[in-house]
Amino acid sequence: MKLLDLLTLKGKKSKIKENDNLQPGHSIENVFGIINEFPVGAPIGYYPEFKKDIKLDSLLVGYMINNHGIYSHNDISFAKTATGPVLNLVTPDAKISIKNIDSFHILLPLITRTTIDYTTKKSWNVDDQKSSEKKINDFMRGSTITLFARTPNVRGIYHIDTVVSKNIVLKDGHYANSKLVLLEPQIDTFECMNLRRMQRVNTEIPAEIQLPKEKKRHPCLIRDFSEKFIRIELLDTKEIHHGVAVNRNIFLIIMPNDPDKQMIINGVVHRNRNNNVIISMNSLFKKGLFQKLDQLDEFVIKATLLNHPQTKRS
């Protein structure tokens, strides 16, 4: 299928000149390296516009290479020949060997996300909060989307920045009439993040969690933490486990030895497995309201937890 056979969401014919999106560094080796770490059909994660605190799930449904659509990882292969590297593609129309890459795009499903806005009054208690849902399209033309592999490599996690070229609807083929987004990878941002960059610290700090619109607090233990995440162990699992679903908003109340230094963190459940819940921290209650975490807040939280007597030093 040719890219020129695509329609925009407005129903207008879509044309992309092959050379308009060419970046320096679009070599066969670089492109295949990306394809190898982000295979077609694999679940991936992404965050929009460099907002690393918002991590979302998606699926890589295909690639557009020189205007040829590829929707199976088995339809792409790499070979070294006497005249140089070659990318071999299998399309519904023919088998194609590519020696020069003029355009390279990633295809993801176009799915808007729902977010909850909390308007906080003087008290942090959920009874004093008003919430409203709103739809957000992260894939506006020109927006930056950072993709990261969901399956860690032995070296770490691969990630790459991309720019939204356009939203499209395929006229036919495997994803006919499906809303998709066309992303242009920024080749020079492709790299592997060492998993040890964010060092986790083991703890056994007593804490409590509270769900929105509920008054009751539930005991837990903070088991480890890093700059962005806190892992807790649920203690009354029968009552709370099913309420702590992935992407659920949650409040974590941390009680250091000094009661005046009690911290209340608002976050989102990143993972829930075997009574262990990983929370992505979003905001901190201070000066009468929840405020988005800044770099100083991250230092304050980490310093407070590091100085707790239940934090392990080994």
pLDDT in tens, 226-275: 777 888 999 877 777 677 888 899 999 997 666 667 899 999 998 888 78
The whole-number pLDDT of residue 22 equals: 41
Instruction: Tell me the two tokens of residue 24.
Output: 């320096």
Residue 32 is classified by DSSP as: H
**Over the Cα atoms of the chain, what is R_g?**
23
The whole-number pLDDT of residue 307 equals: 80
d(CA 239, CA 216): 11
Please, are residues 105 and 69 in contact by the beta-carbon 8 Å criterion? no
State the DSSP string of 158-217. EEEEEEEEEEEEESSSTTBT-EEEEEEE-GGG-EEE-GGGS--EEEEEEEEEE-TT----
CB atoms within 10 A of CB 260: 5
pLDDT band at 171 (very low <50, low <70, confident <90, very high): confident
Helix (H) or strand (E) holding 30: helix 28-37
Q: What does residue 176 show for φ and ψ, rounded to 5 degrees?
A: -60, 135
Residue ranges, comma separated, of all CATH 2.40.10.220 domains in the chain are 198-306
The whole-number pLDDT of residue 293 equals: 85
d(CA 5, CA 16): 11
Q: Is the pLDDT at 155 greater than 90, yes or no?
A: no
Q: Which residue has the higher pLDDT, 85 or 203?
A: 85
d(CA 77, CA 177): 28
What distances in angstroms separate CA 208 from CA 3, 229, 250, 254, one per listed residue? 53, 16, 11, 7
pLDDT band at 202 (very low <50, low <70, confident <90, very high): confident
Would the pTM count as exceeding 0.75? Answer: no
d(CA 14, CA 2): 11
CATH of domain 198-306: 2.40.10.220
